[in-house]
Amino acid sequence: MQIPGQGQPGAAGRLYNFSAGPSALPAEVLQQAADEMLSWHGCGMSVMEMSHRGKEFGSILAQAFADLRELLAVPDNFRILFMQGGAIAENAIVPMNLIGRRAGFTPKADYVVTGTWSIKSQEEARKYGEVNIAASTEAQGFLSIPPVAEWRLSDDAAYVHLCTNETIVGVEYHEMPMIGQDSGSVVVADASSHILSRPIDFSRVGVVYAGAQKNIGPAGLTLVIVRDDLLDHALPITPTAFNWRIVSDADSMYNTPPTYAIYIAGLVFQWLKRQGGVAGIERANIAKAQLLYDYLDSSAFYVNRVDPACRSRMNVPFQLRDATRNDAFLEAARARGLVQLKGHKLVGGMRASIYNAMPLAGVQALIEFMREFERTSA
Amino acid sequence: MQIPGQGQPGAAGRLYNFSAGPSALPAEVLQQAADEMLSWHGCGMSVMEMSHRGKEFGSILAQAFADLRELLAVPDNFRILFMQGGAIAENAIVPMNLIGRRAGFTPKADYVVTGTWSIKSQEEARKYGEVNIAASTEAQGFLSIPPVAEWRLSDDAAYVHLCTNETIVGVEYHEMPMIGQDSGSVVVADASSHILSRPIDFSRVGVVYAGAQKNIGPAGLTLVIVRDDLLDHALPITPTAFNWRIVSDADSMYNTPPTYAIYIAGLVFQWLKRQGGVAGIERANIAKAQLLYDYLDSSAFYVNRVDPACRSRMNVPFQLRDATRNDAFLEAARARGLVQLKGHKLVGGMRASIYNAMPLAGVQALIEFMREFERTSA
């Protein structure tokens, strides 16, 4: 009933896990974490037991910062922050730190709404200032990304917020939009569900943030990458622990950081480097997504309705044309070791999240199963 | 050079770890986590990889809630919340949720200052309302707890905030203070560094909060236990992810919780039950602390200056009478497998944090070493 998964046939009973998050991690990362659990590098302590101020954890943190900077080619004028609260907390922390940045203007920000996550983000920002919806695809069912030329950006906005991959509907920006450098605004991107799956053009963005639990590591860690001229604009009501300047100046140790989650993230960064870095994993991600979308488009039994130009490489929702077969599909998939395929309740049907840690073999196994399920459903 | 530690002689190279936090965890908890890392209970997934909405993590979360409620005898009218950001973030989240609770009064709170942590707490609260320092032992070097009878409480305060164990100076409330039930105020206790080491009298307190990284589990998890009539007073600028009512109604899953940290905490709760629960571990903690303080008081070589009535059972700072020997002490201790004994920079000297996971044998080993160090220093 269970098959070896996640690219490590030796790990008994591992499944192909299509969860949207928290989601699959590379088996070799988990194996290393297990091996080092009671004594990291022979130091006599678990990483969980180390003082965050000690030299052991200090070396783990420094390596994680350096590897991430290398992987994403983060420019020198950007700071990397390890925070807490996930993207949902950061939805408040972003406006707290940024919406008041334009002296002489009322606090205001533009939001581009492309799905559930950007809806949540703009709702949260309204607590701290004025929100202008620059564009929305809600009327079209969130099946595409609105062209930048049609965005109605404000002259006085502190920033324009995007969710660059919408996990639930499965739409993705395949290019970081360019907004006028002289507009005084700056792009803020919630990249939670596709960070590290592809390069980021930092010349077009001021802030990128992401919850860890898709492509980085365990839930409970939030990554924020912020241009250094954007650190000093926090509203007075910003909690000290969430003030980007203070977090940055303290090397993410103003409060005790989520040390074990940072350690696992560091192991994932090392694993990514062994996959050829972001360029290498992007090639794999393109291949995996293409295989699955090609199959969906060739099938009369399954359907994905997203505009092909905006389809997510990470989250692939699909419907059975006969929705009464949904439960049978999920049950049969589980019996084949293909798990967490149920679609989000807002969309229904199925969703295959094929993040960095999902091997090509997992996508192949899914397609093979889907073909068979179609055959036996005839 | 290294000795078996944390009560599990089989775990090669484990040390006696006196870190103030993140700090030692029971070796059997770490061993179980290592064993289950790649496949929890044979489910084919690591706990890190589980959807927080799935039945597997659902069972882990429900068990953790139930065990914690049992261990601390949390009454039915209190909610248990698993949050993020540590006690430092909670220092802001408390006033955001509570300082505006008294209709018709200006937002205001009383703070009792007994060390570094309560200083930080009251500073943070000033962002959200007026702060009255009801009592402070700063002028006396924070070596005691000010008697409740001397506190200058406000008539119109939303709450009175205490830090019931100050990790740096090592003072502890050995009884939850009773403030008048008819005062309209309520006690809020930061119990980060002694939670689960002793019972809590919930009839005297409205909110207890604690960072996990001492007696609960990995850093990155924050525990909040709040009386249900205190859930509905959040200021409008409170981030949704930190609004107690919303977190409570969502069973701590409004945003993705730190799932792995909750799992480890759950293993710690199970371990605590095997130690005889809080009553059992309290007996052990009393014995450990008494042994160490008795030795310190009997020695002319070492000294602890804290008022004996207020000494912490968890954090035992001590000075060498000859401070020039500090580095030699730390180096010789490390060579004996006794680590992370350096005192906080604000106090200097040494500090032995002897949380729940530190066995009596660790304290005995420390005292044996201290005797020997004194002898060889003569």
State the SS3 of chain A: CCCCCCCCCCCCCCCEECCCCCCCCCHHHHHHHHHCCCCHHHCCCCHHHCCCCCHHHHHHHHHHHHHHHHHHCCCCCEEEEEECCHHHHHHHHHHHHHCCCCCCCCCEEEEEECCHHHHHHHHHHCCCCEEEEEEECHHHCCCCCCCHHHCCCCCCCCCEEEECEECCCCEECCCCCCCCHHHCCCEEEECCCCCCCCCCCHHHCCEEEEECCCCCCCCCCEEEEEEHHHCCCCCCCCCHHHCHHHHHHCCCCCCCCCHHHHHHHHHHHHHHHHCCHHHHHHHHHHHHHHHHHHHHHHCCCEECCCCHHHECCCEEEEEECCHHHHHHHHHHHHHCCEECCECCCCCCCEEEECCCCCCHHHHHHHHHHHHHHHHHHC
Q: Which residue has the tokens 């920033």?
A: A159
* A221/A269 Cα distance (integer angstroms): 14
In a domain, B4, yes or no: no
B253-289 residue pLDDT tens: 999 999 999 999 999 999 999 999 999 999 999 999 9
- Chain-centroid distance of CA A298 in Å reads 28
Name the phi and psi angles at A24, rounded to 5. Answer: -55, 145
Provide the shortest C-alpha distance from residue A31 to chain B (in Å). 7
Tell me whether residues A84 and B88 touch, CB distance under 8 A.
Answer: no
- The residue type of B57 is F
Mean of all residue pLDDT scores within chain A: 95
In a domain, B133, yes or no: yes
A109-121 residue pLDDT tens: 999 999 999 999 9
B175 contacts: CB under 8 Å, gap ≥ 6: B201
* A259/B221 Cα distance (integer angstroms): 11
B121-137 residue pLDDT tens: 999 999 999 999 999 99
Which residues of B are tagged catalytic?
117, 190, 214
Shared-domain flag, residues B194 and B77: yes
CB A161 within 8 A of CB A113: no
Q: How confident is the model at residue A12 (pLDDT cuts 50, 70, 90)?
A: low
Shared-domain flag, residues B353 and B252: no
Select from B273, B297, B331 the last residue of a domain.
B273
> For B296-302, which contacts have Cβ atoms below 8 Å and span 24 or more sequence positions?
B299/B370, B299/B374, B301/B370, B301/B374, B301/B377, B302/B370, B302/B374
Parallel, antiparallel, or unpaired for β B187-190 and B207-211? parallel
Tell me whether residues A21 and B256 touch, CB distance under 8 A.
Answer: yes
Instruction: Please list the ranges in chain B whose pLDDT falls under 50.
Output: 1-11
Number of neighbours of residue A122 by Cβ within 10 angstroms: 22
We report the CATH number of the domain holding residue B329 as 3.90.1150.10
Tell me whether residues B241 and A92 touch, CB distance under 8 A.
Answer: yes
ipTM of the complex: 0.96
In this prediction, residue A180 carries a pLDDT of: 75
Tell me whether residues A241 and B86 touch, CB distance under 8 A.
Answer: yes
From the list A30, A86, A257, which residue is nearest B255 (CB)?
A86
From the list A15, A86, A128, which residue is nearest B45 (CB)?
A15
In a domain, A333, yes or no: yes
In a domain, A6, yes or no: no
A119 contacts: CB under 8 Å, gap ≥ 6: A113, A138
Tell me whether residues A14 and B218 touch, CB distance under 8 A.
Answer: no
Residue A302 corresponds to which tokens in the numbers above?
Answer: 């399954």
From the list A43, A84, A92, which residue is nearest B84 (CB)?
A84
Domain of residue A341: give its range: 16-28+277-377
Tell me whether residues B220 and A257 touch, CB distance under 8 A.
Answer: yes
Q: How confident is the model at residue A183 (pLDDT cuts 50, 70, 90)?
A: confident
Provide, as residue numbers in chain A, all residues whose Cβ is less than 8 Å from the Cβ of B23: 49, 51
In a domain, B101, yes or no: yes
Please tell me what DSSP assigns to residue B93: H
Residue of B nearest to A219 (CA): B258
Provide, as residue numbers in chain A, all residues whose Cβ is less than 8 Å from the Cβ of B213: 256, 259
From the list B11, B52, B339, which residue is nearest A219 (CB)?
B52
For range A299-321, the mean pLDDT: 97
Select from B273, B303, B331 the last residue of a domain.
B273
Shared-domain flag, residues B42 and B183: yes
Tell me whether residues B264 and A48 touch, CB distance under 8 A.
Answer: yes
Shared-domain flag, residues B248 and B314: no
Select from A239, A273, A307 the last residue of a domain.
A273
In sequence order, what E strands does B42-194 have?
A: 78-83, 108-113, 130-136, 160-163, 165-166, 171-172, 187-190
In this prediction, residue B12 carries a pLDDT of: 52
Instruction: Count how many domains chain B has.
Output: 2
Provide, as residue numbers in chain A, all residues whose Cβ is less than 8 Å from the Cβ of B22: 48-52, 256, 259
B178-230 residue pLDDT tens: 997 778 999 999 999 999 999 999 999 999 999 999 999 999 999 999 999 99
From the list A213, A240, A255, which residue is nearest B256 (CB)?
A213
Tell me whether residues A92 and B256 touch, CB distance under 8 A.
Answer: no
Tell me whether residues B237 and A237 touch, CB distance under 8 A.
Answer: yes
Shared-domain flag, residues A281 and A182: no
Provide, as residue numbers in chain B, all residues whose Cβ is less than 8 Å from the Cβ of A256: 21-22, 86, 88, 211, 213, 219
In a domain, A78, yes or no: yes
Shared-domain flag, residues A86 and A114: yes
In a domain, B159, yes or no: yes
Shared-domain flag, residues B255 and B354: no
Provide, as residue numbers in chain B, all residues whose Cβ is less than 8 Å from the Cβ of A15: 43-45
Shared-domain flag, residues B122 and B204: yes
Interface test with B, best of A8, A51, A215, A221 (most B CBs within 10 A): A51
Which residues of A are tagged catalytic?
117, 190, 214
Provide, as residue numbers in chain A, all residues whose Cβ is less than 8 Å from the Cβ of B241: 85-86, 88-89, 91-92
In a domain, A4, yes or no: no
Tell me whether residues A46 and B25 touch, CB distance under 8 A.
Answer: yes
Provide, as residue numbers in chain A, all residues whose Cβ is less than 8 Å from the Cβ of B240: 88, 91-92, 124
Q: Which residue has the tokens 């581009």?
A: A112
Shared-domain flag, residues A242 and A106: yes
Shared-domain flag, residues A116 and A191: yes
In this prediction, residue B219 carries a pLDDT of: 97
Shared-domain flag, residues A93 and A131: yes
Provide the shortest C-alpha distance from residue B306 to chain A (in Å). 24
Shared-domain flag, residues A265 and A325: no
* B39/B53 Cα distance (integer angstroms): 18
Provide the shortest C-alpha distance from residue A17 to chain B (in Å). 8
* B235/B248 Cα distance (integer angstroms): 16
We report the CATH number of the domain holding residue A82 as 3.40.640.10
